[in-house]
Structure 1
Amino acid sequence: MKSIITLPATSGALAFDGEPSDAELDAVELEMPLILAEVELLDAEIKTLDRPATGLDERRIRRARRRVLAARRSLSNRAAMLGGAA
């Protein structure tokens, strides 16, 4: 199979050191509340996979869904204030 791009191995444009850039780390930090809320929702849903959901389980899932929605809303509002798109 032939390579589509043939650049010298010393090309600085394609250099990647395996570490995230500062901008990528800032983006992850900005989205961390949403990530944590989604993990909490996933944990609540996983607990009900092998057994019927109890009333407590249903409330836990509802609360987790509300936290995810609130985190998404906050992230979207913050992006709109900064002039970006979420």
Structure 2
Amino acid sequence: MRTHLAPVTTEPTTADLAEIDAEWPLIAAELDVLDAEITLIYAEDHGGPSPLDWRRLRRAEARVTRAATDLNTRTDPRRAA
């Protein structure tokens, strides 16, 4: 049995767009990790990942950590001090 999703009839609000904009550095960092992981997977077909591939993954993971920390600091006023 197939269920149908209700069509989206409303646009994102200004608040929704502001939240996305605030979270964008974290989203971009997570996409960089995904891209680095895909590169590692494809490198297996060409003799394995290079040290540069591993370095790229580590840097992307560090970027996610920094972006998540920054987002948490900006959204939690108790942690800003």
> TM-score per shorter chain, which class?
0.7 to 0.9
In angstroms, what is the RMSD of aligned CA positions? 1.4
Q: Which residue of 2 aligns with 1:41?
A: 33
What runs of 5+ residues in structure 1 fail to find an aligned partner?
1-15
- Which amino acid in structure 2 is aligned with residue 73 of structure 1? T
Which runs of 4 or more aligned residues in structure 1 lie more than 6 Å from their structure 2 counterparts after TM superposition? Answer: none
Q: Which has the higher contact order (CA 8 A, sep 6+)?
A: 2
1:35 and 1:20 map into 2 onto residues whose CA distance is: 18
Matched residues, number: 67
Cα shift at 1:61: 0.2
1:24 and 1:64 map into 2 onto residues whose CA distance is: 26
Cα shift at 1:17: 3.2
Q: Which residue of 2 aligns with 1:76?
A: 72
TM-score of the pair, normalised by structure 2: 0.76
Work out the percentage of aligned pairs sharing the same amino acid: 40
> Normalized per residue, which structure has more helix?
2
TM-score of the pair, normalised by structure 1: 0.72
